[in-house]
Amino acid sequence: MPKESVLSIADKEAIKIEKLIFHIILTDDINPIFLEEVKITDEQQKFFRDRLADASQGRQFIFTENNSPIKVLAEEIVNASDEDFLRISKDITSRFRTTHTSNMNDGVFIISIASIRTRKLLFLIKLDHKKVYEYKLKNNKALLEEVKNTFSEDKTAIQKVALIDINPNVVWDVLVFDRSCPSGITKFFGNFLSVIPRETESDLTKKAQSCARRWASLNKFEGINEPSAYKNKARSYLTFVDTFNSEQYIEAVIQDSDKEKQGYLRESLRNFMMEDGLYGQIFIPKKDVLTKKECKNIRQTAEGVKIEWEGSLEENNISISDIKDRQGLYKIVIKTSDIKDIQ
């Protein structure tokens, strides 16, 4: 079954830049300035590898059709010879320039093939002309003289990012970051890639609502409390934020006075979100899907007894032990001022 996971920490550490070229795009020129060669040092390769790792989480998209141009070119270029890699890179850049007809800044379009062990990915990125790197042209060849790691200082230089994985073992085709539309994709970039979101904002809101509970349910024996406590914090976060941010979500869900335990649990939830395909996705939560039904907590004992409540356990005078006693049983205590005979 195809996985929803994005790149794990181990995947990022294994990234290797196999091939890389960039072409120059100028506002006043309909045709890009095509370069024939880019030589990069080991240090510069690390720079681009780190940028790829930065982009390895993003909103997940799928191609609209199997024979869309970028999908076909991606399938060709990942295993292409050096000569064909250069040819296809020019084709991709030309398509990007032709599709981008308005509100464009001078910049460069980078095409790179990266490998993660036996897995290969196509990495596309548009950078505006800021102090990101310097280059000079010599007989239509480019020699990178210096790569200045100003990515963290001036993130606005990176405008469009697409990480394309043609591996059928993952459910997404493209991870996208679009600075002009952080929670989605601009119309022109979507048309260029021929993609649509794999999940709607409503789908992602429901997924984020249930993520903390599912994580807690699967890790009950690792110092984790009753799952509803984390579910309630997740719901509260989604209710009050305008844009979903993975790290903010993790901080909101995991709060513990024991800093060592807090760090461990946050890392555990982060890894779970990566496997779940939620980590790194940016979207606008849909408040209308956070209904009372989604808020309800339901537990069923081995004897078939169901317990239903909304809110926290404490608010409902309920306590559920996190571990079994010597007889191998959980202890559930409900305190109430009245009991109604319903059936």
Q: What angle is formed at CA 44 by the lines to CA 174 and CA 130, rounded to 5 degrees? A: 75
pLDDT over 50 at 182, yes or no = yes
Return the higher-pLDDT residue of 65 and 291: 65
Mean pLDDT over residues 263-270, rounded?
A: 94
Q: How many CB atoms are closer than 10 A to CB 265? A: 24
d(CA 160, CA 17) in angstroms, rounded, equals: 19
Put simply, whether the predicted model's pTM sits higher than 0.85 gets the answer: no
Contacts of 44 (CB under 8 A, 6+ apart): 144, 147
CA dihedral 94, 97, 101, 107 (to 10 degrees): -160
Helix (H) or strand (E) holding 324: none
Question: What span, in angstroms and rounded, lies between the C-alpha atoms of 34 and 25?
Answer: 9
Rounded to the nearest 5°, which phi and psi values hold at 151? -55, -45
Taking the C-alpha atoms of residue 251 and residue 234, their distance in angstroms, rounded to an integer, is: 10
Residue of 129, 72, 250 lying closest to 80 (CA atoms): 72
In our burial notation (b when 16+ CB lie closer than 10 A, e otherwise), range 178-215 reads beeeebbbbebbbebbbbebbbebeebbbbbbbbbbeb
The pLDDT mean for the chain works out to 85
pLDDT for 250 equals 97
Query: Residue 149 has what pLDDT?
Result: 39
The predicted structure's pLDDT at residue 184: 86
- Segment 40-67 mean pLDDT: 82
Distance CA 106, CA 282 (A): 27
